[in-house]
Structure 1
Amino acid sequence: MWESTGSAVRALGALPSLAAAGTLVWAVARPRAAVRQRLGRLARPTTVCAALSLITSFALPDSGLGSGWKLAEAAFLLVLLAVITRWSPPRELGPALPLAALAVTLWPLPLVAGESFLESVGIATFWLLPVAAAVAAGAYPRRQEARRRSAVAEARSAQRLQLSRDLHDFVAHDISGIVVQAQAARFVAATDLSQAMLALERIEKAGLSALAAMDRTVEMLRGPEAAATEPLPDVSQLEALIENFTSAGATEACLDLPPVVTEMLSREAGTAAYRIVVEALTNVRRHAPDASRATVAFVPTATTVELRVTNDSGARTGPARRRASRGGLGLPALTEHAQALGGTLSAGPYGDGGWRLTAVLPATRHG
């Protein structure tokens, strides 16, 4: 009878080790594709194994298995600690981590029950070191993967934002030109066929420009190398932009661009200046279609280049109309871009019902 009782005690004492070893075997003895999924489901089995270890350590200190068996049990728990720290969902780590750490830390104490309190504390503290190492072994790759995922998410968000800005800044400008030309062609088609044909030619040109901008956006989706093959327009192309704007509507636009400005602005600042002019002229076309004149002027200073886009009042424009109009990605995004370059951007009423946009961009070379 005593022999059978001793066998039962030994079996109970071996149960935590067998459970921990069986848990590990259950997780890895599967096709490789399913291993990671099973490793992420070990938090609850680890909690059970740790609870069994604590119970048997203190309820059955004399199981007859010896310290070697308990040492193997602690080793299995340390492996489980590292695995669940690496793979388990955060919501399941709450009970599993502290319980498994407690089981590994306290397993030697029943074996040294006659020692002093300070010695027991020292032994438990010593076993905290492998616990910390196991948690660190799982936490480091987990943190690295989290940082990688965050970096990928931020890169995708930045790319989506850049694509939306490109579509707004360039395609919206061309489409607004198409709308203006279509309206003009509708009014003159019955009386002046030649003017209608000119309007159709301008619609075709604006449509091709919009398609080119969309092609550039698609190239950006293929990767930075593909996007870099066609540089974005800068201040050197403003003259053609102003000519197209003037020919597309009733508003006459003029450009004051001193030659030194092209040399003073970096490539990025020049691209930002082009975008700002596009957005300003698009807003003139949308919100002040009856404005008679729009002026784009660059004023170089010692350390900056000031860009001013001004339009006079039209029959249907004014500060109230501007404030009531729907906003878009343009001015807020361009303001952030200008600030990122070290400059500023502001816009507001000017003169008698007119509007002015002012941007100050840093110069890479003194004028």
Structure 2
Amino acid sequence: MWESTGPAVLALGALPTFAATGTVVWAVARPRAAIRQRLGRLARPTAVCAALSLVTSFALPEPGHGSGWKLAETAVLLLLLAVVTRWSPPRELTAALPPAVLAVALWPLPLAGGGSFLESVGIAAFWLLPAAAAVAAGAHLRRQDLRRRSAVAEARSAQRLQLSRDLHDFVAHDISGIVVQAQAARFVAATDPSQAVLALERIEKAGLSALAAMDRTVQMLHGPEAPGTEPLPGLSQLPVLLEDFGAAGTTEAQLDLPPLVTEVLSREAGSAAYRIVVEALTNIRRHAPDASRATVTFTPTATSVEIRVTNDRGARPAPARRRVSRGGLGLPALTEHAQALGGTLSAGPHGEGGWQLTAVLPATSPKETP
């Protein structure tokens, strides 16, 4: 009976091959944008093809028929194994892998005839090797993609954090000065218009400074080689910073910056020192606007530079509506930055109701003069 239906047997033997090949063609014969989505939906078709392969391997009456198709079918199943391991969701992957691996490992057993159990185990173990290699290749590509996605996510998070720090450290400082000047101008406008004009000039200067900080931050998002990108402020801008701070309110600001400091602090440490002073002055303006004096002192030592910012009147309690700074902003972020550079930062009460911020940054060897 089966001799007269030889073509039918061959057709049944070739059915899994055509099914597996059709699955691959269905996945890739689409616009490029849709290929990745279809590759992620191959788990169920792969499981169906594997089931057909197992059925035809053990149900056909003459195992020798269609062995050529079986080799081609195994090659396509190995390709599907790699693709499914790379692209399929974990839940669907766990359902597709076992039948596909079994189909690859067990297809030669009917051809072995009445071999012993050990021979059958050896054959199955041998064909497990290409199946394991296909799964390993797909898993490797999947792991590489996960690492790449994780690296991109970390880079974006670091960029957003740097953006928030720049906006907090620089823009918030300038806006605080604008608020102070606007309040002063409102009170003196009626009695001394000339002072109001000066206050408006300082408001304009602070506004331009805030816009420059925002432009620098936006340019940073375009990459380090963006045209027109300016370096972050450093120690050389501290005198102007203290002058503007003193002019913006009633607090007298003093700066003690020995020339040696600029030689022993790296550019990154100098930028961090500028940020620390900006944050300290901003906190004085917000929480101790009635302080009569603020002092910024740099003290170089053999291995470090100590920065002290003090005011002679304690910080007033923050308003209830003020949001407490969280990770990435203010003193916590500056403390992490200082520690990353190998230094320290702390703040607390000082003297009779005053406040003091102390930071220590590591120093590099000063340049030797010829």
TM-score bracket, shorter-length normalisation: over 0.9
2:105 is equivalent to residue 84 of structure 1: no
Identity of aligned residues (%): 80
How many Å apart are 1:37 and its aligned residue?
Answer: 2.7
- Matched position secondary structure for 1:226: coil
Could you tell me how far apart the structure 1 residues matched to 2:61 and 2:136 are?
30
Could you tell me how far apart the structure 2 residues matched to 1:194 and 1:292 are?
24
Kept in 2, the 8 Å contact 1:13–1:63? The answer is: no
Could you tell me how far apart the structure 1 residues matched to 2:61 and 2:34 are?
38
- Residues 168-183 of structure 1: matches in 2 within 5 Å? 168-183=168-183
Q: Residues 270, 357 of structure 1: CA spacing in aligned structure 2 closer, same or farther, 3 A cutoff?
A: same
Q: Residues 141, 74 of structure 1: CA spacing in aligned structure 2 closer, same or farther, 3 A cutoff?
A: same
- Matched position secondary structure for 1:254: strand
Kept in 1, the 8 Å contact 2:307–2:360? The answer is: yes
User: 1:211-245 CA distances to partner (integer Å, 9 max, x unpaired)?
Assistant: 11111112112221127831111111111100110
Aligned alpha-carbon RMSD (Å): 2.3
Normalised to the residue count of structure 2, the TM-score between the two structures is 0.91
How many Å apart are 1:280 and its aligned residue?
Answer: 0.5
Kept in 2, the 8 Å contact 1:262–1:270? The answer is: yes
Q: Which runs of 5+ in 2 are unaligned?
A: none
The equivalent residue for 2:299 is 299
Normalised to the residue count of structure 1, the TM-score between the two structures is 0.92
Amino acid at match of 1:294: A
The equivalent residue for 1:114 is 114
User: 1:300-349 CA distances to partner (integer Å, 9 max, x unpaired)?
Assistant: 111111111111216xx35x559996433111111111111111111112
- Matched position secondary structure for 1:253: strand
Could you tell me how far apart the structure 1 residues matched to 2:227 and 2:261 are?
26
2:285 is equivalent to residue 288 of structure 1: no
Kept in 2, the 8 Å contact 1:287–1:322? The answer is: no
- Matched position secondary structure for 2:349: strand
The equivalent residue for 1:128 is 128
Kept in 2, the 8 Å contact 1:256–1:296? The answer is: yes
User: 1:132-168 CA distances to partner (integer Å, 9 max, x unpaired)?
Assistant: 2222333333333332222222211111111111111
Q: Residues 61, 72 of structure 1: CA spacing in aligned structure 2 closer, same or farther, 3 A cutoff?
A: farther
- Residues 7-156 of structure 1: matches in 2 within 5 Å? 8-60=8-60, 62-63=62-63, 65-156=65-156
Could you tell me how far apart the structure 1 residues matched to 2:290 and 2:61 are?
94
User: 1:116-139 CA distances to partner (integer Å, 9 max, x unpaired)?
Assistant: 222222211211221122223333
Kept in 2, the 8 Å contact 1:79–1:134? The answer is: yes
Picking from 304, 308, 324, the partner of 1:327 is 324
Q: Which runs of 5+ in 1 are unaligned?
A: none
How many Å apart are 1:360 and its aligned residue?
Answer: 0.9
Kept in 1, the 8 Å contact 2:9–2:65? The answer is: no
340-349 vs 263-272, which deviates more?
340-349
Could you tell me how far apart the structure 2 residues matched to 1:10 and 1:349 are?
90
Could you tell me how far apart the structure 2 residues matched to 1:217 and 1:366 are?
31
Kept in 1, the 8 Å contact 2:14–2:66? The answer is: no
Kept in 1, the 8 Å contact 2:177–2:206? The answer is: yes
Kept in 1, the 8 Å contact 2:174–2:206? The answer is: yes
Q: Residues 200, 31 of structure 1: CA spacing in aligned structure 2 closer, same or farther, 3 A cutoff?
A: closer
Kept in 2, the 8 Å contact 1:287–1:325? The answer is: no
Amino acid at match of 2:273: A
- Matched position secondary structure for 1:163: helix
Amino acid at match of 1:208: L
- Matched position secondary structure for 1:225: coil
Amino acid at match of 1:41: R
The equivalent residue for 2:193 is 193
